[in-house]
Structure 1
Amino acid sequence: MHFLKYCLLLLFLFPKPVFAQYDHLLHKTYAQKVTGIHDLYRDLADIGDSVRQVKKTDEIKRFARNNKDRALELNVDFFLVFLSAFYQHQPREVSLGRLKKQLELATEENVDFLRARSLRALAEFYWKIEGNYELAFEQYLLLDKELVTTKPEEYPEMARDLMQIGKAYYFFQDYTVAREYFKRAIVLPETAFTTMVINDARNTLGLCYQQLNNLDSSDFYFKEVFKTTFPEAAVWKRIATGNLGTNMYLCRDYDQAIPLLEKDFYGSISENDYGCAAGASIVLADILRDKGKLKESAVFIAHAKDNIAKAEQPDRLRLLYPVMSKWYAAAGDMERSRQYMDSSMTAMNRFNDRFSALKVLRAQQRVDRKNQELQLAGYTLERQRKMAERNLLVLLVLLLCIAIIMTYFIQKKRQLANDLKLQAATQELKIAAIDLDRFTESIREKNKLIEQLESRNPEAEKAGIFRELRQSTILTEDDWIAFQRLFDQAYPGFIQRARQAYPDLTTSELRYFALSKIAISAKEIAAMLGVSPNTIQVMRHRIRKKLDFADNQVMEMEINRI
């Protein structure tokens, strides 16, 4: 018994331990809780079992509802929609439908910048899953409009959104437009949360200028990456080092390029970044070949081939094959040199053909989209015309019907009003009589109960408790609060212990527990609570099933032990 009391005390002192880790998310602005929200997403994603994952999300949503935090609940819903769309085997049309509904809900409720995040998710789905680049760009443009009216300090994910839009244009080699989005991203406040995307934007901005053959500007933005003070961006310092080395290579400043490229290469190997390792090794191989160090060059050619295979990036062969062709020419093997020159042309043509196909696809998607809009506009105009004609006909019919029945309603209106008044008065009298009878019976039964309590607990009588009970009623919530206060004086701590032992009890069921404690009959309890005895029997049965008591006797014994 003492052990049980001790356990109940611990539960009282440390309530809801499962959700304590989420208390800091309650009723906070998105800027205040963005790191916690992403930690929450990561914790949920790490749950391997989908059943456990759904159970956990339901618990968190219930926790949010209990604390009246609609924003936290919607954040969990957003996670579920995103997870099912991108990481679970769900039909694409189902995923697309859920993403669109999520966007509608986010637009309607407009909390925690869910509209912007939903637009980004929908754009990413069109891009990665559907391969519909034009629809993806439409969502990105809507997202851009959303960001124009958003304050960066209130929405920490703005840098990520701008960077993602810029990378979409960068993918299609529209470097001039892409760099404007990257410039908007890099001027935003840099924090531990935003440093990765901001330095990604700085680095990619340097690549834009590299592609535009403006190496001075390219160097500037690569060097901007080195200025970050956040350790989370260390990987981008390494990547920017390699890209800066490539600029030195393009300027034929090999002595400065080599240590930068080697640092990128060996750092990439240690981090299993095989794509970057392949890029650095290709440039190093060409530099060493040009410096006449064919043996060292061959080593990096081998590294390049190996890392291209590991990274599964065969497009990089179009850059490697020309280097290999020059290497064999320097080694005097002109036949192999010609073979690799042919291979480089084939790889380059394959890459250009695939990229051209993507551009053609996007152009066709744009045309299809315009045609759909035109067809929809024509269909809408025709539909509006037909609806206007139908509405006019319906209006005429309605006016005719109104004219016919208006006289009837006017004649019946006064009679109906009188009938309603009479019915209302009769009903009020019946209700008043029932309430008076119930009140009288409740007082009568309560007096009997108080007499029993006085005989069982004379000390409480001395304290004047039962005299106060005699003057009270338990017909309203306020009456119950007053009764509970007196009851606690007679049975200190009983109601609190009952709540801790059986947290699933409803308020009505807890009242039943309290009244059962003073050992009165079901009929008497019904009178106290103002309900029928059958209702008490149903409540007793429901409690027994809910708390898994074998029978009523066991339940009464448990109540007496509390």
Structure 2
Amino acid sequence: MRRIIAIIFIVAFGGLISSAQNQSLQYASQYYEIKPDTSFFLAKSVYLKQKDSLSLDRAKSAQILGIMLYQQGAFHKSAAYLLESADIYEKREVLQEYVHSLNWLGAVNQYGKQFELAWQYYDHAFHIANEVGDSSLIAACLGWKGHYYEKISIPDSALVLQKRALHLFELVNDQKGMARIYDNLGSVYEDEGTYDSAYYYFSMSSLLNHRLGNMNSFVVNINNLGDIFRKTEKWNKALIYTDSALRLADRYELVYQKRSAYRDMAKIYSAMGLHEKANEALEAAYDLNARIFEESNARRLTQLQALYEMERKESRILALEREKDQQSFLKMMFVAIIALVLTIAILVVSQQRMRIQKNKQIIKQNKKIHDTRQALTTAELKNALLNEDKLKAELENKALLEKKLREDLVTKSQVLTSHTLQLIRKNNFLENLKDELREIQKADKKDRGQIVRRIVASINQSFTQDEDWKEFQKVFEQIHPEFYTRLQARYPELSSSDLRLCALLKLNLNSTDIATILGISLDSLRVSRYRLRKKLKIENGGSLSATLMES
């Protein structure tokens, strides 16, 4: 429970600290022109409290310090803070603030006459703003670039860029940005002597600044309007506006604007010939200038002393932190060494125990392997004897089977030969029958009956031979089981007559026997063999019998 309460307290306290720092930065950012001393110390205190070198509070406080030091003329320190701010914002990818820091770096270098470097900062900021796609950010960058051209006396480019910036601010209704650009445009037209345009833009800027409550800028606008009337020799209006600026500056304690109003009033009285009043206004301006100078020197001295003290304290804190870190490091190293020694000792003891256990296991496993090998050797010997007996039996069975197959083959060959001879005899019988029929045609009527009876007897005898060809095919297929199947698969166009001729050629019979079996002449057999060669696609010079013997 105590831990939970402690955690809640730490979180709440941390939140309060963070909120206080944010409020300090917000105040410093808003009032650094009006109350520079307070803003400076607030920003510096937040800056020194940041231990994280990449915290956003450190970046913002560095940015504010850089801007304030720029306004006080401490350009070297200003650039250092602004560079740190830009570096943090770039690494943290807070691109809008990164662009603002780049633009202020451009202003620092521009004031220090480093115009090329200043332009590089302005241009880089402009490219980043375009990548972000924020119209107000792009417009602000255009305003900075236009101000750059104004200060190097290129008014045309300055006006183009300022008007582009104004257009973008108007699109997003950014009145603060519009007020700033109106003032910039008025300044350019005033330098060019185009007082009507200058009056219009200063007036527009004053209206927006008054609406926004930006009194410092509002007083500047009123003073600028008085200056326009002075330059156009409208003395009464010039006095009215300048006196209004003086009263507002006095009310809001804007010492710099009060000094500017006295100076402009002295110029107006001098132009009107009221030299006594001009001297009074000029003396008031001198008094304010001396006061400002004294206060500025005192403030600068105080700030420098504060900077020195803060930097000295920061250095002391860093030294103490380094010393503390070193002591912590040494303690950690000591603890780490002890832990390492203990770990090594534990590992050595553990490895020794593991080695002993492993050796015991190895001995046990070796014994087990030895016993297993002996058992396997005995079993393998028995299996070898059994396999030898089995192999002998298989060889004997194989020899008997081969003997039987050879005997069957001889028997079937004899049967096939017998059937072949029967076919030959049958066909010879038919040839004889044909001859006897011719004799009937030639014989006398009294002899015809005897010839017919002889023919009938011969036919009856041949009835027993009708099944010879079927038996022949049956036996042939037993001896050559896949002959017909292979032929028909390769040559499906073969007829039954072609298959018979192929079977007889497979038996390697001579042409006379084949012709007798098929009941055709030798000439017809030659024609059949020729047709068969074509169907089997045998080239000239190829052997038909050899092809069928290989099938």
Q: Tell me the TM-score range normalised by the shorter chain.
A: 0.3 to 0.5
Whose helix proportion is higher, 1 or 2?
Answer: 2
- Larger of the two Rg values belongs to structure: 2
The structure with higher relative contact order (CA 8 Å, sep 6+) is 1
TM-score, normalised relative to structure 2: 0.44
TM-score, normalised relative to structure 1: 0.43
